Amino acid sequence: MPHSQTSRLAAAPGSRPGIGNAMRTAMAVGKTRWAMLALVFFATTLNYIDRAALGVMQPILAKEMSWTAMDYANINFWFQVGYAVGFLLQGQLIDKLGVKRVFFCAVLCWSLATGAHGLATSAAGFMVCRFILGLTEAANYPACVKTTRLWFPAGERAVATGIFNAGTNVGAMITPVMLPIILTVWGWQAAFIAMSCLGLSWAVMWALTYYNPENHPRVKASELEYVQAEREPEPQKVPFHRILRMRGTWAFAVAFTLTAPVFWFYLYWLPPFLNQQYSLGISVTQMGIPLMVIYLCADLGSIGGGLVSSWLIGRGMAPVKARLLSMALFAVAIVGVVAAAGASHLWLAVAAISLAIAAHQAWTANIWSVVMDYTPKHMMSTVFGFGGMCAAVGGMFMTQIVGYILTVTHNNYHLLFMIIPVMYFLALGWLYLMAPRKVPEQV
């Protein structure tokens, strides 16, 4: 592909006639970036298998160890504490030491922490394991976002983000199918050991096959030019206090804090909700099909949400504006989740939650893309890590608030489902006012 044509595709995505033609043309310049994306997709899948396992096994573990609702809330709380600390630290480490090295060490450590769950014999033991797991798993999203920022131009970024984030839902779908088999044959301890082995295998694959664009031994010159054609400020060492003074840092951090805990709510409390609400017809084994349907819809939303804003960019809309418009549509779709708590039948609740979680994942693909649109790549993981830390702190409070509300209302979920849509509209208003519209020339 000629130099001028490649540059126009990457630097001026708004000039493209449509997303379909743009994607076909983009594939012609090379496919190495999609292989790198596949790596972070599978990492995200494993990351969420580890997380979703606790929610699926909660009825068994609660019975065996006599957990209360607050015990379970506290176990999740300590995961969020580790997650918050890990986000802040590892976001900065990835920018300083490189995504390949830091992500390898993080996955190695979180896989060992997952296996250690099989040795726990009490709620306190699970709290320790979940803290370490959260501390190390926090590297996943700063690493995935950094990889996407390095390997994909703006017009493809939301699609790429939606694809790797779909790993969350694939992991959440696989878990209720895989775990009952392991639980029945070998017991819950073996489930944690099996997940640990999967993570260790991925770490070896990452170490052998991931490279940044400029260092990859098999990337074509045309593809390298394509992914690096956007104008960027010169990389420089930026003190953390200056990053904290950037408007875009707080635009992302506050909006992400308002909405990210919603997915934690689904992940941690959806299995107990379905088990309690429809106890006559659903068990840990029978829970698999409803959860698979819900997370399959989430996958469709994750990828579809990226396609929507990419299509708008292909029609000439500026990237940040396209993301915000898409997010407004998804926020409206989330309102339907209010009907879930009072649904008279399991599959009515599943339908309401499926729509809401699909819209949430579409929202997430775009909020992560919008922060990439206005953040220089040499500080991408630091900005994302700070926002992720804030969101993890929000998740810490979310677990306590959910545990408290369910305790005082005797496990009534109505109020919780009513709060969810409000969070997205608050976040959207904040982003509209605060998000920069492009990468700054200087920082």
pLDDT per residue over 305-324, tens digit each?
Answer: 888 888 888 888 888 899 99
The helix (H) or strand (E) run that includes residue 166 is: helix 154-185
Neighbour-count burial for 246-284, b at 16+ CB within 10 Å, e otherwise: bebbbbbbbbbbbbbbbbbbbbbbbbbbbbebbeeebeb
7 pLDDT band, cuts 50/70/90, is very low
- CA max distance for the chain: 67
Asked if pLDDT for residue 231 goes beyond 80, the answer is no
User: Residue 11 has what pLDDT?
Assistant: 40
Distance CA 425, CA 247 (A): 20
For residue 287, what pLDDT is reported? 66
Q: What pLDDT was estimated at residue 108?
A: 95
Closest CA to 21 of 153, 151, 164, 155: 155
pLDDT digits (tens, 9 = 90+) for 255-297: 999 999 898 888 778 877 887 777 644 455 566 778 888 888 9
Tell me which residue of 37, 57, 52 sits closest to 120, measured CA to CA. 57
Asked if residue 166 lies in contact with residue 242, where contact means CB atoms within 8 angstroms, the answer is: no
Mean pLDDT score of the chain: 83
Cβ(265)–Cβ(398) below 8 Å: yes
Residues of the chain above pLDDT 90, percent: 30
Q: Which pLDDT value is given to residue 406?
A: 84
Name residues whose C-beta falls within 8 Å of residue 153's C-beta, 6 or more positions apart in sequence.
Answer: 9, 10, 11, 13, 226, 227, 229, 230
The string of pLDDT tens digits covering residues 369-384 is: 888 888 887 888 888 8
The helix (run of H) or strand (run of E) holding residue 212 is: none
- What domains can be seen in the chain, in order of their start residue? 32-209+245-434 (1.20.1250.20)
Is the distance from CB of 90 to CB of 106 less than 8 angstroms?
A: yes
Give the mean model confidence (pLDDT) for residues 165-181.
80
Give residue-wise pLDDT tens across range 384-418.
Answer: 889 888 988 887 788 778 888 888 887 788 888 99
Tokens of 121: 């014999």
Flag whether pLDDT at 12 surpasses 50. Answer: no
Considering the entire predicted model, what is its pTM?
A: 0.73
The one-letter amino acid code at 314 reads G
Closest by CA position to 392, among listed 215, 220, 140: 140
pLDDT at 344 over 60: yes
Q: How large is the C-alpha radius of gyration of the chain?
A: 21
What integer pLDDT is reported at residue 384 of this predicted model? 86
Q: How far apart are CA 330 and CA 160, in angstroms?
A: 18
Q: Report d(CA 391, CA 341) in Å as an integer.
A: 25
Q: Among 219, 195, 217, 221, which Cα is nearest to 208's?
A: 217
Nearest CA to 171 out of 279, 277, 55, 7 is that of 55
- pLDDT band, very low/low/confident/very high, at 252 (cuts 50, 70, 90): very high
Confidence of residue 5 (pLDDT cuts 50, 70, 90): very low
Q: Which pLDDT band holds residue 232 (cuts at 50, 70, 90)?
A: low
pLDDT of amino acid 16 = 44
- pLDDT, tens digit, 9 for 90 and up, residues 64-108: 887 877 788 788 888 888 988 898 888 889 988 999 999 999 999
Min mean pLDDT across 37-41, 67-71, 428-432 is at 67-71
Q: Please report which confidence band the pLDDT of residue 211 belongs to, taking 50, 70 and 90 as the band edges.
A: very high
Q: Which two tokens stand for residue 129?
A: 């394991």
* Residue whose structure tokens are 């099909």: 289
How far, rounded to the nearest angstrom, does the alpha carbon of residue 333 sit from its chain's CA centroid?
19
Tell which wins on pLDDT, 20 or 375: 375
Cα separation, 63 vs 71, whole angstroms: 12
